[in-house]
Amino acid sequence: MTSSPFGRTVCAMVTPFTPDGELDLDGAQRLADHLVGAGGCDGLVLSGTTGEAPTTTDAEKSALVRAVAEAIGGRARITAGVGSSDTRHTIALARAAESAGAHGVLVVTPYYSRPPQEDVEEHFRTVADAVGVPVMLYDIPGRTGTRIEPETILRLAEHPRIAGVKDCAYDLLGSSKVIAGSGLAYYSGVEELILPLRAVGGVGCVSTVANVAGPAVAAVLDAYDRDDTAEATRRHQRLLPLVTAMMAGGLPGTVTAKALLGALGLPGGPVRAPLRAAAPDRVKELLAACEAAVGP
């Protein structure tokens, strides 16, 4: 399996807020400590989609990295989401994250402006040139409107600091070609494809579900890695109702993850507008699905 500086079972961690909506750094430290301890994760992505990056300030993003780095030390890898539509702003965020203690940065395709592939490639190269930590490309065309084409990723793989991809493109053929033709560490950013991507050479996942079921997510990869594909399949299938409830039930994963964290007595707090909290009946459904998924 390709080694990676980002970890294997990586949680796309929520950003905890206080009841009045302010950044909860104490809560972030307690949640991070839980996720890399009992939570079964060896990596965290901060300020990603699940981390509500669009509604946090640059100063909050840096403060979050510092606080989490202080809490977990060297027990897990910290990757900071630094993507934006503006290359200069992305560079500034990446440098700030590196200074704050991030071990790597997650850079999403510039969104809304929908740049052509040569501009997408130049954007990533420019950011990677500006930092001294590994870069994970974030390919999520359903949100950005622009794919990082496999041929583009293969060229970017030649850069010494571009080390991985968070894959949300729903294209196993394209991903398989890049995995076969590069040394990039591929992570499924899609919960239902964690096992399929691992089977074609991926190294792990960046998981929203891991906020509440990290050991169950890790157990899928553990079983596959010890060549017990039947057990890996069983554990994958056991997770599917929770994946459906959290990721395909009409609410964003941030909302469902924070609802479950609150029900489980873990830090999370409210979401920031325009997102709104899950209704009480939905929280009960989510909790039932979670309890069914995390057993032996």
**Which of the residues are catalytic?**
138, 166
Closest CA to 211 of 239, 271, 253: 253
CB 55 within 8 A of CB 272: yes
Q: Which tokens belong to 62? A: 């840096």
Q: Looking up tokens 């430290």, which residue turns up?
A: 29
Q: Tokens 């702003």: give the residue.
A: 89
- Are residues 28 and 64 in contact, defined by beta-carbon separation less than 8 angstroms? yes
C-alpha distances in Å from residue 210, one per residue of 38, 206, 256, 287, 289:
11, 8, 12, 14, 14
First to last CA, the chain: 26
**Token pair recorded at residue 118:** 């040569």
Amino acid 63 reads A
Answer for the pair 209, 35: CB distance below 8 angstroms, yes or no: no
Assign 268 to helix, strand or coil. coil
